[in-house]
Amino acid sequence: MFKKYAPSFLSKFRGSMTSTTCRSESSFRRIADLKSDERNVSIKGWISALRKMKDNVFVDVIDGSSYQPLQVVLFKSDAPEALQYGCSVKVKGDLVKNKNSQIEMQNSELEVIGQCDLGEGFPFAPRKKYSMDYVRQFLHFRPRYSGFNSLFRLRNEATSGIHAFYKEKGYINVHTPILTSNDCEGAGEVFVVDKPPRRRGKNYTPEEPVRFFDDEAYLTVSGQLHLEVAARGLGQVYCFGPTFRAENSKSRLHLSEFYMLEAETTTLDSLEELTEAVQDLVHSVTNHLIHNCSEDLEICRKTMGDSNLSELVSNVEDMLAPFPTMTYDEAAQILLSNSDKLKTRFSVGENFTKEHELFLVRHNNNVPVFIVEWPRKIKPFYMKSMKEDSNKVLAFDLLCPNVGEVCGGSFREDDLDHLSEVLKKNRLSDKLDWYLELRKFGNVATCGYGLGFERYLQVLLQILNIKDVIPFPRWPHNCRL
Amino acid sequence: MFKKYAPSFLSKFRGSMTSTTCRSESSFRRIADLKSDERNVSIKGWISALRKMKDNVFVDVIDGSSYQPLQVVLFKSDAPEALQYGCSVKVKGDLVKNKNSQIEMQNSELEVIGQCDLGEGFPFAPRKKYSMDYVRQFLHFRPRYSGFNSLFRLRNEATSGIHAFYKEKGYINVHTPILTSNDCEGAGEVFVVDKPPRRRGKNYTPEEPVRFFDDEAYLTVSGQLHLEVAARGLGQVYCFGPTFRAENSKSRLHLSEFYMLEAETTTLDSLEELTEAVQDLVHSVTNHLIHNCSEDLEICRKTMGDSNLSELVSNVEDMLAPFPTMTYDEAAQILLSNSDKLKTRFSVGENFTKEHELFLVRHNNNVPVFIVEWPRKIKPFYMKSMKEDSNKVLAFDLLCPNVGEVCGGSFREDDLDHLSEVLKKNRLSDKLDWYLELRKFGNVATCGYGLGFERYLQVLLQILNIKDVIPFPRWPHNCRL
């Protein structure tokens, strides 16, 4: 029970500055932490498999802490009638190593705390593999589907790996806003946000609607401009969070809400250093996953991956190879001299289609490849011109198997006069006066990039549909749960 | 320059699985990493102070990696004319320990790369302290204001500390969605999201507008319901990200977009264990900050904090004291018997006002206090009834100096029949059928909490206005940048 509120008790403790208290620990343990030769251990979990033998029932229990279930051995007579696949249980018993060198629980007591009747509508049957399209219909049960259960742990570890990478390099994590009055790239595919229209009813007056914010407010498409603000005080910054596109695309590569990792820095001098930084990031996060959850990686690829894709990372280790670099002009030459193998025509000076991107990756033995030095007219306003050729910008795209572009970045235009002109031409001068002021007062050149987190996971896991690498996917006409 | 694209080069490297490449490192160093007795070191940064002596100019340079500037010593004759406070520079020289045991740069060369003319509108002058209201007008320059520069590093470290805490406990970080079709608490203060209305112009047809999503889509007010989904596959989960309220409040404690830390678990058994878990979290993150950035803590409190507040954490260490617990009924008694000291009347069964919350904290010597066992009728539908008294719920609020409620949590109703009734009464049955199904199939009891990250920082840093603890604040009529 609670300690009674007692100021005298408190005053005794004030000033002792203990950082831990000595209340009771929870009695429940997690499967990932279990060791053999312990007695009277309690866990909670769900039943992932059930085998009835002559005298015993063998019950596999999972609790989400590990891909590996705990085998619980029960006397047949001790097994509750309600015991079946999918139900939740409390179990207590002794841990021993069995003849397969795995920890199992013996002398077990088991209590069913939540039944799970397949006939009543639970969508998954034991030991059955389902299509991802089927599993995706049941977003609220998907965390209990084995491959997706692993995916949650992978996203968690990848997130850890990302923060660890930037911490080591001295980058500061900046919480850039979701709500913003600029749409960054000016591409127009933005969501707008407001308070709901007032409903007819009490206090209703049919007056002119008043906006919640004075400016039109959008959901962010990129944290870049805000990172540029922060970099001009902190030098090296990054953000990692959701971004939004109101594109009417139901393709296997698009979501309305997806995670983007963006970084901005004052410390790099050349496009070569920038692509090197991105390769470092990808190698580091991939290594982190290999070292911390290789089993979950394997389970994900096995249960959710599509190994029939014509372009794919055949081994996770392919993501640890050095990524070569080619210029836009070199890539264009490759596409032109292979035009007979392409369905969509390519013309120099245009952007690549998805087919072109995937062709270039295949041409590179399905190892990711950087394309650098892009034509100015197909890239956004903020990219910096090359000294050698003012029609080209200091930008790169990183193309990967399965999905094409995963990451893009550039140096940012830091010349005040040049940028003023560009903003005028794009009718952005009013909205982005503060962006110009960043160049006016104590300006430094910055560069940065944005990496699509879900697409990176798609590459690594050979997962065809981006909706299957995020817990709660949103796409046009779909915002379930 | 870039390596030329060469497939033969690539094939040599494939399979060697190197995780690092040997391209050149950036030549720029960061102030936080400097050691004495190194020659020819380059850094980039901004000038935070300037002192001209007889033969020398002493220039303080900051680069955001540390609260501590690097002192650069120049011969007067080598100082560029444009050199002044606020401009950005490249410096190169030798590092030595000076007579104050601080590292300084001697034999220095300095190049101004971005001028900063105070007369042209740069809002901060050297060595001047400004009111926070003034500083806040210049969101795009705020990262270069000393206290706020420290705040960025503090938020970064607090974020690290949060992830480290949950990693150690085995919690999985879940990316809950921003876009959702439920408004969780049913409180109604939600933002709605849609694609922008089509403008008159090409392709315009004045047809009935079609929604981007089929259901009405809101910005999330809490990730709780989604965490409940994830917890029923993973056991222990948390999320940390922005949440939104369309409240028309310009108070010093409200933002339209703020960061919330939420956790949900199947492993705890009692309200006592739950409040213990929250105390653990607060102690752990506070300890992390004390150990990793005590100087930034001090600078923030000095330059941005308001030590005149009547309720405040006088020492950061007060947040490491044990937090006592009192029941709602006990707290009510305290308020009733002190009614002569209160401006707003309190009646038993009602919610506390901000004044009541702060009174209870002051009554507790300005140490945070848990209030537990709340009346059902003033709390949301999903909270679980107490066995002993069905008019009370297993919920808590954590009240803190300066801001009042910082964290709230509860056990969630896990009884299918009872919850069905409550949802019917609240007209939520249709929308939350999936929430009921979580109870129907393999149900386990869960509990959890949400902690307001900005309010926690306000408590720790004695900062009066919540707009000063977040990089880009949003409040009614204000969504700048």
Distance of residue A57 Cα from the nearest chain B Cα, in angstroms:
19
DSSP per-residue letters across B39-97: EEEEEEEEEEEEEE-SSEEEEEEE-SS-SSPEEEEEEGGGS-TT--TT-EEEEEEEEEE
B209 touches chain A (CB under 8 A): no
d(CA B240, CA B261): 4
pLDDT of residue B375: 98
Query: Worst-scoring range by mean pLDDT, A22-26, A51-55, A160-164, B332-336?
Result: A22-26
In chain B, whose CA is at the least distance from the CA of A152?
B174
In chain A, whose CA is at the least distance from the CA of B474?
A179
Among A3, A18, A32, whose Cβ lies nearest the Cβ of B320? A18
In chain B, whose CA is at the least distance from the CA of A148?
B233
DSSP per-residue letters across B208-224: PP--SSSS-EEE-S-SH
Reading the block at residue B255, the tokens are 């933002």
Quickly state the pLDDT bin for A207 (edges 50, 70, 90).
low
Chain B residue numbers with beta carbons less than 8 Å from the beta carbon of A330 are 5
Reading the block at residue A462, the tokens are 């050979």
Radius of gyration of chain B (CA): 27
The candidate with the shortest Cα–Cα distance to B400, out of B470, B329, B340, B451, is B451
A242 touches chain B (CB under 8 A): yes
Residue A33 near residue B356 (C-beta atoms within 8 A): no
pLDDT of residue A18: 35
Residue B332 near residue B246 (C-beta atoms within 8 A): no
Higher pLDDT, B204 or B119: B119
**In degrees rounded to 5, what are phi and psi of residue B134?**
-70, -50
If residue B110 lies in a helix (H) or strand (E), which one and from where to where?
strand B103-114
A360 touches chain B (CB under 8 A): no
B42 touches chain A (CB under 8 A): no
Reading the block at residue B343, the tokens are 């401006």
Quickly state the pLDDT bin for A17 (edges 50, 70, 90).
very low
* Subunit contact A174:B471, Cβ cutoff 8 A: yes
* Subunit contact B193:A192, Cβ cutoff 8 A: yes
* Subunit contact A235:B194, Cβ cutoff 8 A: no
Q: Is pLDDT of A168 > 90?
A: yes
* Subunit contact A479:B46, Cβ cutoff 8 A: no
Reading the block at residue A134, the tokens are 């089927």
A22 touches chain B (CB under 8 A): no
pLDDT of residue B435: 96
Q: Please name the amino acid found at residue B424.
A: K
The candidate with the shortest Cα–Cα distance to B402, out of B340, B334, B316, B327, is B316
Give the three-state DSSP class for A214.
Answer: coil
CATH fold label, B148-198+209-468? BirA Bifunctional Protein; domain 2 (3.30.930)
Q: Strands, DSSP E only, in A212-289?
A: 217-219, 236-244, 257-265
CATH code 2.40.50.140 region(s) in chain A: 31-128
Interface test with A, best of B327, B444, B479, B480 (most A CBs within 10 A): B479
Reading the block at residue B446, the tokens are 């869960």
pLDDT of residue A202: 53
A152 touches chain B (CB under 8 A): yes
Contact residues, A window 313-342, toward B, CB-based 8 Å cutoff:
317-318, 320-322, 324-327, 330
d(CA A145, CA A136): 10
* Subunit contact B122:A163, Cβ cutoff 8 A: no
Residue A393 near residue A347 (C-beta atoms within 8 A): no
Model pLDDT for residues A257-299, shown as the tens digit of each residue: 999 999 999 999 999 999 999 999 999 999 999 999 999 999 9
In chain B, whose CA is at the least distance from the CA of A86?
B442
pLDDT of residue B429: 86
Chain B residue numbers with beta carbons less than 8 Å from the beta carbon of A6 are 324
ipTM tops 0.95: no
The candidate with the shortest Cα–Cα distance to B222, out of B381, B437, B350, is B381
| Domain B31-128 part of CATH 2.40.50.140 | yes
The separation between CA B162 and the C-alpha centre of its own chain, rounded to angstroms, equals: 10
Q: Is pLDDT of B27 > 80?
A: no
Chain A residue numbers with beta carbons less than 8 Å from the beta carbon of B180 are 472, 479, 481
B210 touches chain A (CB under 8 A): no
Interface test with B, best of A249, A365, A481 (most B CBs within 10 A): A481
Q: Is pLDDT of B1 > 90?
A: no
Give the three-state DSSP class for B434.
Answer: helix
Among B115, B191, B267, whose Cβ lies nearest the Cβ of A195? B191
What average pLDDT does the structure give for chain B? 90
Chain A residue numbers with beta carbons less than 8 Å from the beta carbon of B192 are 193-196
Other residues' Cβ atoms within 10 Å of the Cβ of residue A14: 14
CATH code 3.30.930.10 region(s) in chain B: 148-198+209-468
B349 touches chain A (CB under 8 A): no
Model pLDDT for residues B272-289, shown as the tens digit of each residue: 999 999 999 999 999 999
The candidate with the shortest Cα–Cα distance to B186, out of B429, B480, B374, is B429
Other residues' Cβ atoms within 10 Å of the Cβ of residue B123: 17
Model pLDDT for residues A439-470, shown as the tens digit of each residue: 999 999 999 999 999 999 999 999 999 999 99
Model pLDDT for residues A359-396, shown as the tens digit of each residue: 999 999 999 999 999 999 999 999 999 999 999 999 99
In chain B, whose CA is at the least distance from the CA of A44?
B267
Distance (Å) of CA B247 to CA A328, A331, B452:
49, 52, 16
Interface test with A, best of B1, B3, B5, B189 (most A CBs within 10 A): B5
Triad B266, B267, B271: Cα angle to 5°: 95
B457 touches chain A (CB under 8 A): no
* Subunit contact A327:B437, Cβ cutoff 8 A: no
